[in-house]
Amino acid sequence: MSTFPTERTVLLTGAGSPRGIGRYTAGYLAERGWHVGLVDIDGDAAAATAARIADRYGVRAVGVGADVADRDAVVAAVDALEARLPQVVALVAFAGVASPVPYLDLDADEWRRVVSVNLDGTHWVTQRVARTLVSHGVGRIVGISSVSAQRGGGTFSRTPYSAAKAGIQGFVRSVARELGPHGITANVIAPGPIDTDIMGGTLSEERKAAMAADGVLTRIGTPRDVAAAAAFLISEDSGFVTGQTLNVDGGLYMH
């Protein structure tokens, strides 16, 4: 069993949105001693977020821009981050897009847009980072699915989103099986409704209450709920947990 290096870096995709889970998680992990590398379609937002994190938490942080659906761009982004940060030990692939389009109105461009960012993007960044993790014999990979994948939608996004997020679960399980012998774990977080912009903008109190009513708790989730789950799954102590999906959904889906 390989141990973590003293100086360790986590890479996060989709960490530029001001109210996003990725950005919050980056700060949450930095506060706990992780150096952070950020990838976002908005390179300026990623760089600004990294600068704030470095200043606030005293860690090394770098942000770069890339479309995760573009393999070459992802490889270049990870190459750039690795050149400027300590050993990469973990990846949390938050980058994703929503899609509220009804199925019968869905066209080819919308299907491809949603699947390419959510599923293809998770694959390309995972493959690139996995090469580094395998070379060191230790690492953690976390993909982000959704309760929509397990319940067939029912939140904000619809069919292409649910399909792509379900694909992430099968993808990560296969990665866990292949990379386990190399000291790498791979797991999934499946959030329920979380108070972020991907839910269609700032949520009203009435909309939050309606969403919470489907679960067993009396609130919807917060970025901190997901960040804490990510912190566990990339921790050194989670080394015997792999191929699993951790629902962070207030009991919306029990399995």
| Residues belonging to the active site | 161
Give the DSSP letter string of the chain.
Answer: -PPPPSS-EEEEES---TT-HHHHHHHHHHHTT-EEEEEESSHHHHHHHHHHHHHHH-S-EEEEE--TT-HHHHHHHHHHHHHHSS-EEEEEE---------GGG--HHHHHHHHIIIIIHHHHHHHHHHHHHHHHT-EEEEEE--HHHHHT--SS--HHHHHHHHHHHHHHHHHHHHHGGGTEEEEEEEE-SBSSGGGTSSPPHHHHHHHHTTSSSSS-B-HHHHHHHHHHHTSGGGTT--S-EEEESTTSS--
Contact 40, 18 (CB under 8 A): no
d(CA 115, CA 123): 11
Question: Which among 93, 107, 96 is positioned nearest to 141, based on CA atoms?
Answer: 93
